[in-house]
Structure 1
Amino acid sequence: MTRKYSSRLTAAWILVLAAAFTHAADDPIGKPNVIFLMDDQHRWDTLGRVNSIVKTPNLDALAQSGVFYDQAVCQAPMCIPSRNSMMLGLYPNQTGVLRNGRGIPDGQLPSQPLPELFRDAGYQTAGFGKTHWGVTCSTRGFETRYIGECLEKDAVMMIDDAPDAKKRYDSESHTMGAGEENNLGYLGFTSQLPELEHRDGWVTGKCLDFIDSKLDPERPLFLYLSFLKPHAGHNVPAGYEKQYRLDQVEYAKQPPWTEDRSPHAAGVNRRDLYVDYWGKATDEQWRLMTMRYRANCTWIDDMFGRVLRELERKGVLDNALIVYCSDHGEMLGERFYRFNKYCLYESSVRVPLILSGSAIPEELQGKTDHRPAELVDLYPTVLGAAGITIPQQAVGMNLLGKERRPASFSSLHERGNEAAFMWRTADYKLILRMKRRADDNACMYTAADIIGGEFYNLAEDPQEWYDLYPDLAASRNPRETMTRELLKFLKSQRTITRP
């Protein structure tokens, strides 16, 4: 059922979180509980914190009471490599998972996954929802595991636990195509099914049941809750769309082009499918598509809020670190009808990232952190907060410390004979196209491998419509500096030996 939020309720929830920022003096465990919240394909700017039209009161409350990282990026703009990188604490060229294909089998992982490290440190570990390792595998450290899609051995699957509900969901959503992201999936519709018959709704129910009756009072908790939405399809349950006025919805503005200008991502991911449809779509269709995406974000936020309130009721948040992030962004029709991800442009590569809870030092509470942050940083950050030894090969920085990198990094390997590497600051973005190495060993790339690039002045051109790479006079100083930095960074990416 839809929850109607008021400013009073939002303020009350903020106070609840703020109150949790005092460590319980008689805490018998000492180590903070870690609550890891995640969703899929959530744009960095689709939070009420960034865009007041968007309704995400619970995530906004976390940001207001914690730290909001407004320059965060993913390490690869697609699910499987991004999630492997985040959960293993390594860059994609080090994990070897570069695309949405086969992941890493059990026994060949180059580092320990986060849930396994927490389990080995004495935590109760419970995982609900999507991990998307890209391979049939064990639950990788989760003692309790419920998942709607993607097989993990010993996990409880929705199709087995609620087969009739899963079949009804599959029947209603079948017109949206593979991955629910054909044009009808993006246009979406109001679902006629109750929330519990959606995969994310079922996962939320299982998570709430666990919190209510299965918490171990003798151990700290590592709880992972990860949703499939707001990734298309936009088949949001009834009620959430009513929180938006269609006439107030602004959608993607198109550049003054007659053809795509995306050298590093040209021709990838069914371009013709989207261009043909959305190039002819009506104003109402654009508004509906955009509104339903936002309504999906509001639904996700509502479920996060219910789980957080139950955790607070059980006392779990009295001593806790709360993480929220998404695995990558969503283009939503920008840059000449480009949808989903698979590119290194802002709406695809930037992600929302929040750290909150009582483990946040008091001096950081309520702050916005403008450093170049990366999802790979979450691995050492949450381990450090829990007092768990950080594996030596971890490459990220502790986001609760003072370390700083000159720029953020991401990569794309969607064109067979090319690799594209991004080096980004708040003001500029460099994308180098490289002749792809057969072994994908990043530390072996040199200036001799460069076959082209893109360069954007983000401060003046946030939509990335004007590529300055061909105009050396307009970009010489920052471009040359960033090229040297990126090549140096690639050289530093040591190869990780697998078992």
Structure 2
Amino acid sequence: MNTRPNVLYIMADQFHADCLGIAGRQVRTPQLDQLAHEGVMFKQAYCNNPICAPSRTTFITGQYPHTHGILGNDIYEMNDRNEHTLSAMFRRTGYQTALIGKSHMIGAWDREGFEYLRYCDLCDCDRNDPLQNHYFKYLHDLGIANLYDLGTMKPEHPGSRVRAFESMIPEQHSLETWTGDETLQFLKNRDERRPFFAHMSFQRPHEPYTVPFDSGLLYDPDSIQLPSGVIDLFERKFAGKPEIMRKLADTFGGMPYIPESEADLRRQLAFYYSLITRIDEQIGRVLDHLRQTGEYYNTTIIFTSDHGDFAGDHGMVNKNIGIYESIHRIPFILKYPGGPSGLMKAGIMESVDMFPTLCELCEVPIPDGIDGRSLKPVIEENLPGKLYTVCEWSSPRYEVNVNAIRTDRYRLVYYGQGEGELYDHANDPDELDNCFTDPVYTTVRLQLQEQLIDHINQYHTKSSTAKSKAVSLKSRNTMTRMVHTGQRNWDEIKHLYR
């Protein structure tokens, strides 16, 4: 009989850390709130990269981006074996490993680390064969692949320019329901002689923000309470921020999404919150199954996100501009057998810390080269948080590497060439007043810049923005890419499929 703890590693994509009922916003997340009541919730958890693939690579390697070298998003087909990913370590030590949902990591790593794979994102399949993707194949077999709407929309589509819209895919076949169904399918048919390591990875609430046409919105847009930081756009027009931000002030749509009015922003948030509540419902189905089978109290459960979303902060939604608190900070809930319950833990922790934490909790060897530290002694011995955390980004918008450092009080974002942003959270939690050139903060700015440079001065890049752009250009006319980027829908090209 298995006595080692199981692991349920739940990740949502682009989840604002405050968009939990327990964290204060008006979002309904009863399942995640209950999980927090039964475990530990870290109030100052941060990702180490603000976009999907590099951040996910950080979680699965326990290494900072400047260590693992992945800074671009187009990495699935990289031929780069790694026998020391978190999933590979667990698989080699007797765990039955599974990934259900979005990976957005190197495919070879997935195949080595996970013996059971069920992909939902078209980033995770052969560029010439979208039917290798399990969710797209599922829609195809139902005869509704032409309704696929999880990539870039055509200009005439109601969801073009990243606007929220109603999906024509019914709720029973929605991405959220599929992820819940497939996770339950794995758990019900797993090898009970072994503990499981299941990565349940939701592709959303990453845009596009959609709701199924047959069930609709779960929130009334008119009742959405906007965060105080909306004044950054609607009143201040990003005053004091870098020029690239100020140019967005009069730009509707795009990425990030700049709403045309507060009513438009409320509508976007009503869709975003609806996705979160539906994700919470699917998590609840899985947790109920674990309770019914008696495995719940022998399972280490983590809920987190690869990065955040503006979710109304600064008047915007989505991401891909700057490295603000909304994007850098992530939710992080940890429940483990024998661990404390109802603990709200202050102090900085990072995504690199998840790897050694799970290894220590499950008696899995920690390989050399890990940058994180285990959270178990932090929790049980009440150790302080880290002095700072760093977020590293190879940004196509800035055409340079952008980096941020966050201490308990300050955030510094440095764009190079003497340009940056500095916020004092003691006086400005909404990050409205840029103090980068304020002489009062000169000493603080220089100290933070030195810490930042010391942290990231060794880059070993395997995937950068430039490399991702080259890969994307090379594969732009492949079948998978055409469906994913809105160039063609399935009915227009399926006759070419062999």
1:369 aligns with 2:342: no
SS in 2 for 1:209: helix
1:396-436 per-position Cα deviation (integer Å, ceiling 9, x unaligned): 1112223542111111221565322211123211122336x
Q: 1:89 aligns with which of 62, 65, 82?
A: 62
- Once the two structures are TM-superposed, the CA of residue 139 in structure 1 deviates from its matched residue by 2.3
1:396 corresponds to:
372
**Cα pair distance change 1:486/1:317, threshold 3 Å:** same
2:474 corresponds to:
none
**Cα pair distance change 1:42/1:174, threshold 3 Å:** closer
The CA distance in 2 between the partners of 1:327 and 1:221, in whole Å, is 22
SS in 1 for 2:180: helix
Decide whether the 8 Å contact of 1:427 with 1:458 is kept in 2.
Answer: yes
- Once the two structures are TM-superposed, the CA of residue 43 in structure 1 deviates from its matched residue by 0.5
- Once the two structures are TM-superposed, the CA of residue 245 in structure 1 deviates from its matched residue by 3.5
1:246 corresponds to:
221
The CA distance in 1 between the partners of 2:58 and 2:35, in whole Å, is 24
Decide whether the 8 Å contact of 1:330 with 1:339 is kept in 2.
Answer: yes
Q: 2:394 aligns with which of 397, 403, 413?
A: 413
1:422 corresponds to:
404
Q: 1:126 aligns with which of 88, 98, 102?
A: 98
2:136 corresponds to:
159
1:460 aligns with 2:460: no
Decide whether the 8 Å contact of 1:114 with 1:379 is kept in 2.
Answer: yes
The CA distance in 2 between the partners of 1:344 and 1:395, in whole Å, is 21
2:290 corresponds to:
311
SS in 1 for 2:22: coil
1:196 aligns with 2:196: no
1:66 aligns with 2:39: yes
The CA distance in 1 between the partners of 2:201 and 2:157, in whole Å, is 19
**Cα pair distance change 1:67/1:117, threshold 3 Å:** same
- Once the two structures are TM-superposed, the CA of residue 61 in structure 1 deviates from its matched residue by 0.7
Decide whether the 8 Å contact of 2:258 with 2:317 is kept in 1.
Answer: no
SS in 2 for 1:83: helix
The unaligned stretches of length 5 or more in structure 1 are: 1-27, 436-450
1:320 aligns with 2:286: no
* More deviation, 154-163/393-402: 154-163
Q: 2:449 aligns with which of 453, 474, 483?
A: 483
* More deviation, 367-376/482-491: 482-491
The CA distance in 2 between the partners of 1:269 and 1:163, in whole Å, is 39
Aligned length: 448
- Once the two structures are TM-superposed, the CA of residue 177 in structure 1 deviates from its matched residue by 1.6
1:313-354 per-position Cα deviation (integer Å, ceiling 9, x unaligned): 122223111000011111235436463244310111111111
Aligned counterparts, 1:73-152, within 5 A: 73-102=46-75, 105-109=78-82, 112-133=84-105, 138-149=110-121, 150-152=123-125
Report the AA paired with residue 101 of structure 2. G
Decide whether the 8 Å contact of 1:372 with 1:405 is kept in 2.
Answer: yes
1:233 aligns with 2:195: no
- Once the two structures are TM-superposed, the CA of residue 269 in structure 1 deviates from its matched residue by 10
The unaligned stretches of length 5 or more in structure 2 are: 464-498
Report the AA paired with residue 294 of structure 1. Y
Decide whether the 8 Å contact of 1:130 with 1:227 is kept in 2.
Answer: yes
Q: 1:216 aligns with which of 191, 195, 205?
A: 191
- Once the two structures are TM-superposed, the CA of residue 461 in structure 1 deviates from its matched residue by 1.2
Decide whether the 8 Å contact of 1:67 with 1:365 is kept in 2.
Answer: yes
Q: 2:15 aligns with which of 42, 45, 49?
A: 42
The CA distance in 1 between the partners of 2:261 and 2:462, in whole Å, is 52
TM-score normalized by the length of structure 1: 0.80
**Cα pair distance change 1:215/1:373, threshold 3 Å:** same
* More deviation, 58-67/186-195: 186-195
The CA distance in 1 between the partners of 2:38 and 2:155, in whole Å, is 35
**Cα pair distance change 1:246/1:156, threshold 3 Å:** closer
Decide whether the 8 Å contact of 1:274 with 1:337 is kept in 2.
Answer: no
- Once the two structures are TM-superposed, the CA of residue 82 in structure 1 deviates from its matched residue by 0.5
Q: Could you tell me the percent identity over the aligned residues?
A: 27
SS in 1 for 2:172: helix
Decide whether the 8 Å contact of 2:21 with 2:30 is kept in 1.
Answer: yes
Alpha-carbon RMSD across the aligned residues, in angstroms, is: 3.4
1:334-390 per-position Cα deviation (integer Å, ceiling 9, x unaligned): 43646324431011111111101325x2xx321111111111111111111111111
**Cα pair distance change 1:185/1:318, threshold 3 Å:** farther
TM-score normalized by the length of structure 2: 0.80
* More deviation, 150-159/92-101: 150-159
- Once the two structures are TM-superposed, the CA of residue 271 in structure 1 deviates from its matched residue by 9.4
SS in 1 for 2:334: strand
Decide whether the 8 Å contact of 2:238 with 2:245 is kept in 1.
Answer: no
* More deviation, 121-130/184-193: 184-193
**Cα pair distance change 1:69/1:170, threshold 3 Å:** farther
Decide whether the 8 Å contact of 2:161 with 2:253 is kept in 1.
Answer: no
SS in 1 for 2:98: strand
- Once the two structures are TM-superposed, the CA of residue 185 in structure 1 deviates from its matched residue by 6.8
SS in 2 for 1:287: helix
Decide whether the 8 Å contact of 1:40 with 1:231 is kept in 2.
Answer: yes
SS in 1 for 2:23: coil
The CA distance in 1 between the partners of 2:428 and 2:159, in whole Å, is 28
- Once the two structures are TM-superposed, the CA of residue 161 in structure 1 deviates from its matched residue by 4.1
SS in 2 for 1:131: coil
The CA distance in 1 between the partners of 2:117 and 2:76, in whole Å, is 19
**Cα pair distance change 1:65/1:218, threshold 3 Å:** same
1:448 corresponds to:
none
The CA distance in 2 between the partners of 1:73 and 1:135, in whole Å, is 25
**Cα pair distance change 1:188/1:496, threshold 3 Å:** closer
2:481 corresponds to:
none
**Cα pair distance change 1:471/1:179, threshold 3 Å:** farther
- Once the two structures are TM-superposed, the CA of residue 120 in structure 1 deviates from its matched residue by 0.3
Decide whether the 8 Å contact of 1:106 with 1:137 is kept in 2.
Answer: no
- Once the two structures are TM-superposed, the CA of residue 494 in structure 1 deviates from its matched residue by 8.2
1:171 corresponds to:
147
* More deviation, 304-313/274-283: 274-283
Decide whether the 8 Å contact of 2:411 with 2:424 is kept in 1.
Answer: yes
